[in-house]
């Protein structure tokens, strides 16, 4: 067999294996099928072979970057999670994926990229910290503009005075969609019985992002938490297929203070170091420019007391 | 299908009259409601609904299939009308600009085309070729055909909103003359979908549609 397939996707954060919707979906599908992929988790889209993430480099060197096409390619390489589905279930998959894209995707984009609080405190913060210099200055802003344009085109041209109404409608549609998904799932483990299929990968990626990320204004989260079967479904997949990534979730959840205390020693250290550096710079400058001079003759006089005073070294000179 | 009395009116500025910018819309008393979803809700609020007999899971499936149709068939129709050069040049520009005098017909047609192309790019269809679009339509029809199976309507004996939506799209595809018939050929491959359209046309439209185009089964 030729070189193994390589998948480039956004790295993990917020307790999830990946912070990006498409990357998460593709990664989940790959885990479901046990495809032998070499996964590169990067946070610089310019390092990916196609310039965007996620991207799959096949064993023949071809690069695919549309998520649906990546999954189709994996299917062709005999990693097919939908193998056991009947024709009717395959049709249902198509239909439910369309439902997700029409109803949940706009709200997801809005929650993470348009909602001011969320964008500044969560999304932009993560991307700015994760991306290397100097990309972190302009890429998050560019991504936001792209998402905003996409959202505008998806929802049709809306006039500014109707924006609040549009937002309410969007969230209403999303809540309805989540309820429908919950009813379709019922008490099953996965959407089509006991084995996961591609639909599960897509639904999981949407739900995981909405549920696991701590958002300052999570209007949809409250509704989603009320749908217990969807929450259980989400945690079940996380614990089953992403055990080591999922393990990062508990500590930040227990106490909101703990992330602060973990940073404390580092913060203290940085503070002390910066103060010392500042002091050393000042003293060094003072010594070098001759404002003060250090006396070594009399042991009684310590450099500390003599440093800030005027130079009284008559005996020396 | 609900047996509600309606009068169909064709206006050139229908898109501008509509509150959301999209057709169709209905004008009832002093209320104007546009697009299928809100119209269905509105009619339901007045006491007429086709999907009352469905259970929750079926309602979920119905909504999902309606989105599938919107996602694939509607976008494919838009693509074919506005992004396929042959069709655009011969049919769409002429048809869209016909109510207006020159040069308005040209300007409006180009504006609409630019708008549609932008939307296609945003949803990722900008780079698709005609063949890929037709393949997607085929997949969609296959899914619908499998869901319909041998039943008379999608949810067995009674028609629902899904049947109305699917009929609307398929009928338009089958009866509109375009430069190439590939789109209607794709639909004609599925005999149960054809029979479905014929059945609805006969049942609900035959007495009203005297002399207008009917489905050609070639």
Per-residue confidence in pLDDT tens, chain B, 218 aa? 777 777 877 776 777 777 776 777 888 888 888 778 778 888 888 877 777 777 888 888 888 888 888 888 888 888 888 888 877 777 887 777 777 787 888 888 888 888 888 888 877 777 778 888 888 888 888 888 888 888 888 887 788 888 888 888 888 888 887 777 788 888 888 888 888 888 888 888 775 554 444 454 43
* Inter-chain touch B21–A156, beta carbons under 8 Å: yes
Q: What is the pLDDT of residue B208?
A: 53
Using a CB-CB distance cutoff of 8 angstroms, which residues of chain A are in contact with residue B139? 94
* Inter-chain touch B64–A102, beta carbons under 8 Å: no
**Of the candidates B70, B119, B146, which has its C-beta nearest A88's C-beta?**
B146
Fold of the A87-242 domain = Glutathione S-transferase Yfyf (Class Pi); Chain A, domain 2 (1.20.1050)
Q: What's B122's domain CATH number?
A: 1.20.1050.10
Q: What is the pLDDT of residue B34?
A: 78
Confidence of residue A281 (pLDDT cuts 50, 70, 90): very high
Whether residue A211 has a cis bond before it, omega within 30° of 0: no
* Inter-chain touch B122–A153, beta carbons under 8 Å: yes
* Inter-chain touch B146–A186, beta carbons under 8 Å: no
* Inter-chain touch B122–A150, beta carbons under 8 Å: yes
What is the domain partition of chain A in residue ranges? 6-77, 87-242
- Smallest CA–CA distance, residue B208 to chain A, in Å, is 33
- Find the helix or strand (DSSP H, E) in which B198 lies: helix B191-200
Whether B217 is covered by a domain: the verdict is no
Phi-psi region of A57 (alpha: psi -120 to 50; beta: other; left: phi over 0): beta
Q: What is the pLDDT of residue A265?
A: 60
- Smallest CA–CA distance, residue A176 to chain B, in Å, is 10
Q: Tell me the residues of A at the B interface, defined by beta carbons under 8 Å apart.
A: 66, 87-88, 90-92, 94-96, 98-99, 101-103, 149-150, 153-154, 156-157, 176-177, 180-181, 183-184, 186
Q: What is the pLDDT of residue A264?
A: 55
B20 and B59 inside one domain: no
Using a CB-CB distance cutoff of 8 angstroms, which residues of chain B are in contact with residue A101? 67, 71
The count of structural domains within chain B is 2
Whether B61 is covered by a domain: the verdict is yes
Whether B73 is covered by a domain: the verdict is yes
Angle formed by the axes of helices A87-99 and B130-148, nearest 10°: 120
Q: Is the pLDDT of residue A313 over 70?
A: no
B34 and B60 inside one domain: no
**Of the candidates A102, A149, A176, which has its C-beta nearest B71's C-beta?**
A102
B70 and B158 inside one domain: yes
Q: What is the pLDDT of residue B212?
A: 45
* Inter-chain touch A181–B60, beta carbons under 8 Å: yes
B48 exposure class (CB count in 10 Å sphere: 0-12, 13-18, 19+): middle
Mutate to test the interface with B, among A85, A86, A91 (most CBs of B within 10 A): A91
**Better-scored residue on pLDDT, A2 or B194:** B194
B70 and B174 inside one domain: yes
Q: What pLDDT digit, counting tens, does each position of A77-107 carry?
A: 888 888 888 888 888 888 888 888 888 888 8
Q: Tokens in use for B125?
A: 């269809």
Q: What pLDDT digit, counting tens, does each position of A15-62 carry?
A: 888 888 888 888 888 888 888 888 888 888 888 877 788 888 888 878
Q: What is the pLDDT of residue A156?
A: 62
* Inter-chain touch B61–A184, beta carbons under 8 Å: yes
CB contact at 8 A, A106 and A158: no
**Of the candidates B64, B122, B140, which has its C-beta nearest A96's C-beta?**
B64
**Of the candidates B118, B143, B149, which has its C-beta nearest A153's C-beta?**
B118
CA atoms within 13 A on the CB side of A171: 17
Whether residue A134 has a cis bond before it, omega within 30° of 0: yes
B67 and B27 inside one domain: no
Confidence of residue A298 (pLDDT cuts 50, 70, 90): low
Fold of the A6-77 domain = Glutaredoxin (3.40.30)
B61 and B148 inside one domain: yes
B168 and B193 inside one domain: yes
CA distances for A137 relative to A11, A18, B200, angstroms: 19, 21, 58
Whether B69 is covered by a domain: the verdict is yes
Highest mean pLDDT among A24-28, A128-132, A307-311, B124-128: A24-28
* d(C-alpha B149, C-alpha B190), whole Å: 10
B18 and B74 inside one domain: no
Mutate to test the interface with B, among A21, A82, A95 (most CBs of B within 10 A): A95
B80 and B22 inside one domain: no
B64 and B169 inside one domain: yes
Question: What range defines the domain where residue B18 resides?
Answer: 9-39
- A vs B: CB pairs below 8 A: 72
The answer to whether A6-77 and A87-242 have equal CATH topology is: no
B26 and B80 inside one domain: no
**Better-scored residue on pLDDT, A306 or A232:** A232
**Of the candidates B57, B67, B123, which has its C-beta nearest A95's C-beta?**
B67
- The interface pTM score, or ipTM, of the predicted complex is 0.78
- Chain B residue with CA closest to A173: the answer is B37
Q: Give the mean model confidence (pLDDT) for residues A269-295.
A: 85
* d(C-alpha B20, C-alpha B35), whole Å: 8
* Inter-chain touch A91–B118, beta carbons under 8 Å: no
Q: Is the pLDDT of residue A312 over 50?
A: no
- List the single range of A160-169, A295-304, B137-146 with lowest mean pLDDT: A295-304
Query: What is the DSSP track for A207-256?
Result: HHHHHHS--TT-HHHHHHHH-HHHHHHHHHHHHHH-HHHHTTSHHHHH-T
Using a CB-CB distance cutoff of 8 angstroms, which residues of chain A are in contact with residue B21? 156-157
B139 and B189 inside one domain: yes
Whether B132 is covered by a domain: the verdict is yes
**Of the candidates B57, B67, B119, which has its C-beta nearest A99's C-beta?**
B67
């Amino acid at each position: 067999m030729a070189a193994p397939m390589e998948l480039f996707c956004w790295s993990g954060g917020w307790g999830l294996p990946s912070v990006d919707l498409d990357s998460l979906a593709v990664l989940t599908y790959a885990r479901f099928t046990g495809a032998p992929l070499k996964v590169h988790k990067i946070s610089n889209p310019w390092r990916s072979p196609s310039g965007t993430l996620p991207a799959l480099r096949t064993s023949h060197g071809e690069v695919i970057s549309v998520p649906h096409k990546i999954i189709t390619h994996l299917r062709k390489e005999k990693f097919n999670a939908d193998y056991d589905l009947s024709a009717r279930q395959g049709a249902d998959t198509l239909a439910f994926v369309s439902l997700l894209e029409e109803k949940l995707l706009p709200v997801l984009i809005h929650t993470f990229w348009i909602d001011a609080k969320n964008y500044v405190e969560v999304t932009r913060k993560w991307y700015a910290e994760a991306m290397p210099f100097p990309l972190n200055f302009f890429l998050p802003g560019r991504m936001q503009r792209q998402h905003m344009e996409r959202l505008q085109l998806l929802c049709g041209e809306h006039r500014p005075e109707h924006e609040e109404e549009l937002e309410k409608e969007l969230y209403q549609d999303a809540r309805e969609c989540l309820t429908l998904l919950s009813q379709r799932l019922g008490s099953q483990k996965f959407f089509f019985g006991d084995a996961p299929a591609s639909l599960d990968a897509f639904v999981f990626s949407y739900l995981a992002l909405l549920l696991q990320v701590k958002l300052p204004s999570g209007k949809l989260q409250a509704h989603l938490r009320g749908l217990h079967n969807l929450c259980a479904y989400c945690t079940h997949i996380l614990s089953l297929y992403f055990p080591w990534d999922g393990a990062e979730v508990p500590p930040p959840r227990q106490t909101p203070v703990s992330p602060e205390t973990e940073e404390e020693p580092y913060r203290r250290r940085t503070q002390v170091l910066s103060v010392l550096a500042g002091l050393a710079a000042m003293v060094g400058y003072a010594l070098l420019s001759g404002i003060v001079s250090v006396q070594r003759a009399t042991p009684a006089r310590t450099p500390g007391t003599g440093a800030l005073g005027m130079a009284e070294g008559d005996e020396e000179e | 299908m609900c047996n509600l009395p309606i009068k169909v009116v064709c206006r050139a500025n229908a898109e501008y009259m509509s509150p959301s910018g999209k057709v169709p819309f209905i004008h009832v008393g002093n209320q104007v409601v546009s697009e299928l979803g809100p119209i269905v809700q509105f009619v339901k609020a007045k006491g007429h609904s086709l999907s009352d007999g469905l259970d929750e899971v079926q309602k979920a499936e119905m909504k999902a299939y309606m989105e599938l149709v919107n996602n694939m068939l509607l976008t494919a129709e838009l693509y074919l009308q506005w992004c396929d050069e042959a069709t655009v040049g011969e049919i769409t520009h002429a048809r869209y600009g016909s109510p207006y005098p020159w040069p308005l017909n040209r300007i409006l047609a180009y504006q609409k085309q630019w708008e549609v192309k932008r939307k296609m790019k945003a949803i990722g269809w900008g780079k698709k070729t005609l063949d890929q679009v037709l393949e997607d339509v085929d997949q969609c029809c296959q899914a619908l055909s499998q869901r319909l199976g041998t039943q008379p309507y999608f949810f067995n004996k009674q028609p629902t909103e899904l049947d109305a939506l699917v009929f609307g799209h398929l009928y338009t595809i089958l009866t509109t003359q375009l430069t190439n018939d590939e789109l209607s050929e794709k639909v004609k491959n599925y005999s149960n979908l054809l029979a479905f359209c014929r059945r609805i046309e006969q049942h609900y439209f035959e007495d009203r549609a005297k002399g207008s185009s009917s489905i050609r089964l070639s």
